[in-house]
Amino acid sequence: MPTWSLYTITVIVWGLSWHALLYQTEVAPALSIAYRFLLAAAIMVVFCLATRRRLVFAARDYGLMAVLGLFLFCANYILFYYATAYLATGLLAVVFSMITVMNMVNAAILFGQRIEARVALAAAFGLVGLALTFWSDIVGHALNREVVLGLVLSLLGTLCASLGNMASIGLGKRGIGVVESNTIGMTIGAAASFAFALLHGAPFVYNPAPSYTISLLFLALFATVIGFGAFLTLARRIGAARAAYSSVLFPILALALSAWFENYRPQPEAILGVALILIGNVFALRRVPRAAPATAE
């Protein structure tokens, strides 16, 4: 599939998925995530069996898949689902766009990739942008603790997602395909989410409302199976940093949906902050060398 098609799929599917999270909050976040990834993993297993893809690997490979599942398909989502109680989903998408810089830093730490000066400058843009985006809530007449909590949760969720990206890159370097690693990773993520829900005493329930089922199906099939397949294929084909360019675009769609459906009305400084974050992402991604073609898939 052409690179531009993978970008388009990622931007549209993930731009819509942030709003879909709102319809999942009637059930305990960890349980909704478990349902989502259990369904997604089942779809992936059927696909792997139908296409005769192997799901038996070395112990070290399963270790990386466990990191992928625990960070990208469990902790990342639990943190963001909880954050939806405090921030508009469009703002969560903007915070998540900081994964661009996090991917570059983590790739430098884990894979020895050199961090260029422009990356540090992009990080500065992002930090200033985040401060402006939440300025009125953080330094207003009274500290909005809920907004601060939502910001912290979403930043931690973004860090978890970036670490999951690094695990996927590592699996790619070992010659393991995106489909196979995602299948096992999603299964591990679903199991971990079920365990988290049980340990926290979440009632084992299902919301029969059509909005819950429809959003769950969308999140499982499109945002998870198709979206992650497209994004992680991009990450392996052109590098995690260049793949994260999609994070410049899908927050715009997510913010538009928040303004339309969630009555989100940004202040002027918030608009400037979002612009700085996105500009920083674009700057960070300029002239990034193309990664060597993936050995898998």
Q: Is 251 within 8 Å of 100 (Cβ atoms)? A: no
Q: Which candidate, 184, 229, 172, places its Cα nearest to that of 66?
A: 184
- The per-residue pLDDT for range 2-23, each reduced to its tens digit, is 777 888 888 889 889 888 988 9
- Nearest residue to 42 (alpha-carbon basis) of 183, 181, 168, 176: 183
What is the per-residue pLDDT for 161? 94
Confidence at residue 196, expressed as pLDDT on a 0 to 100 scale: 94
| Span 184-214, pLDDT tens digits | 999 999 999 999 999 988 888 999 999 999 9
Check: CB of residue 83 under 8 Å from CB of residue 153: yes
What is the percent of the chain with per-residue pLDDT over 90, rounded to a whole number? Answer: 36
211-238 pLDDT per residue, tens: 999 999 999 999 888 887 888 788 778 7
- Using alpha carbons, select from 22, 7, 29 the residue that is nearest to residue 254: 22
What pLDDT shows up at residue 140?
Answer: 57
Contact 213, 35 (CB under 8 A): no
Instruction: Name the band, by pLDDT with cuts 50, 70 and 90, for residue 49.
Output: very high
Distance CA 45, CA 225 (A): 11
Global pTM? 0.80
- Residue 188, amino acid: I
For 74-94, write each residue's pLDDT tens digit.
999 999 999 998 988 888 888
Categorize the per-residue pLDDT at 296 as very low, low, confident or very high, splitting at 50, 70 and 90. very low
Taking CA atoms, 160 is separated from 2, 96, 243, in Å, by 28, 11, 17
pLDDT in tens, 109-129: 998 877 777 767 777 887 788
- Cα–Cα distance for residue pair 244/241, rounded to 1 Å: 5
Q: How far is CA 292 from CA 162, 167, 187, 237, in A?
A: 20, 17, 29, 7
- What are the residue boundaries of the structural domains of the chain, listed by start? 3-26+71-177+209-285
